[in-house]
Amino acid sequence: MIRFPVAAFASAMVFAAVAEPTLAADLPAPALPPPQAPAVYMPAPPPFSWTGFYVGGNAGYGWANSSGGMIGGTLGGVSFAGPFSASGNGFLGGAQVGYNFQYGAGVFGVETDFQGTVGSGTVSAVTDAVNATAKNPWFGTVRGRVGYAFDRILVYATGGGVYGNSTLSGTAGVGPAAFSSSTTYWAWTAGLGVEAALGGPWSAKIEYLYVGTPSSVPAVPNVTAVAGTANTNIIRAGINYHF
């Protein structure tokens, strides 16, 4: 019986089992991957909100026209019954304060402003019996606002009331007789606007307002009644600071 090959094979297996750890110990250790920095969680910025109080200033331009009729007696032999027409324009500027509340994409608010103007206009009536200059030294508005927010862009409609002061000075009748008068009035207004949030607490806006016929007009000598319509247009730009 030949046992040598079997014995030799078994001896080789034992030698390999003993030598393998030794050879493995002589090999270089595998390189470890470089340490990784821990992941930093960056929360998403909160969505922009229009909610809150704001104050600001504005400047713009206005133009107006009106027409109608005057009813009255005579002055210097001139009758005060007949048509009139008026037109004017000028620059304006002032300040506003308001509050917005945002629910979803809807924005609801209220705003009041006070304006000074440097505009003037001319009034001619009853075949040149009246020639006068009209001015609107100041006015203010109290309005609601309803809008839709596209994140940092707000598109809105606005409407409410207008109060103000108007003056009239010139001549009436043959002579002519000089006169000057003033009155306070109220009217309605409606318009549209767009406002954009800038950096920090600032926003900028542009706005258009239409103003209806005022409730009263300055007195004209010997005129007992004035009936007509007036159309006033205002466009202005402004900037707001939000709290």
Residue in 70, 67, 98, 47 with CA at minimum distance from that of residue 205: 98
Instruction: Please tell me the predicted confidence (pLDDT) of residue 17.
Output: 47
**In 73-105, at which residue ranges do the beta strands (DSSP E only) sit?**
74-75, 78-79, 82-103
3 found inside a domain: no
Instruction: Please tell me the predicted confidence (pLDDT) of residue 10.
Output: 45
Instruction: Please tell me the predicted confidence (pLDDT) of residue 1.
Output: 46
Q: Is 123 helix (H, G, I), strand (E, B) or coil?
A: strand
Range of the domain at 97: 56-242
* CA distance to 24, 178, 219, 221, per residue, from 70 (Å): 116, 18, 11, 11
Instruction: Please tell me the predicted confidence (pLDDT) of residue 173.
Output: 77
- The string of DSSP letters for 138-170 reads EEEEEEEEEEEEETTEEEEEEEEEEEEEEEEEE
pLDDT < 50 regions, the chain: 1-2, 4, 6-19, 23-24
8 found inside a domain: no
100 found inside a domain: yes
Instruction: Please tell me the predicted confidence (pLDDT) of residue 22.
Output: 52
Instruction: Please tell me the predicted confidence (pLDDT) of residue 185.
Output: 97
Tokens of 52: 């809150």
45 found inside a domain: no
* CA distance to 8, 9, 17, 126, per residue, from 14 (Å): 10, 9, 5, 132
List, for residues 210-224, the tens digit of each pLDDT value. 999 999 999 888 888
74 found inside a domain: yes
Instruction: Please tell me the predicted confidence (pLDDT) of residue 44.
Output: 74
16 found inside a domain: no
What's the structural domain count of the chain?
1
Q: What is the CATH number of the domain that holds 226?
A: 2.40.128
157 found inside a domain: yes
21 found inside a domain: no
Instruction: Please tell me the predicted confidence (pLDDT) of residue 8.
Output: 46
The Cα–Cα gap between 185 and 170 comes to 20
